[in-house]
Amino acid sequence: MVACYFCVMAPNMDEIFKALGEESRRKLLDLLLFRNGRTLTELCDEMPGVSRQGVSKHLGVLERAKLVKVKWRGKEKMHHLDAAPMLDTIWRWINKHQRARREKARG
């Protein structure tokens, strides 16, 4: 029953864990945490060794996971961190496993 409740409450959990599972995407999230509202060019400047196309693809994964939101400033596409879905998913994951551990200990 817990598993069903968890899946209904966190429908993009797989996307979030996929997004967090790659080092370059975690670095992009860190860059946005340090200074939110950056353009693709600004992010690329901070990611040596990753092509512009690569950074763009990583941002797409982060957007699908709802960890990055885009706002347009004139012709510039600004990328903003939204940590709420990540924090919500992580806390739900931790709580799910804590409940299971407590039930097992009682058991």
- CA-based nearest residue to 66, from 3, 6, 10: 10
Give the number of C-alpha atoms closer than 13 A to the C-alpha of residue 54, restricted to the C-beta side. 13
How many Å apart are CA 81 and CA 23, to the nearest integer?
16
Helix axes of 23-34 and 13-20: crossing angle, nearest 10 degrees = 90
Convert the pLDDT of each residue in 57-92 to its tens digit.
Answer: 999 999 999 999 999 999 999 999 999 988 888 888
Task: Encode pLDDT of 15-32 as tens digits.
Answer: 999 999 999 999 999 999
Distance (Å, whole) CA 28 – CA 43: 7
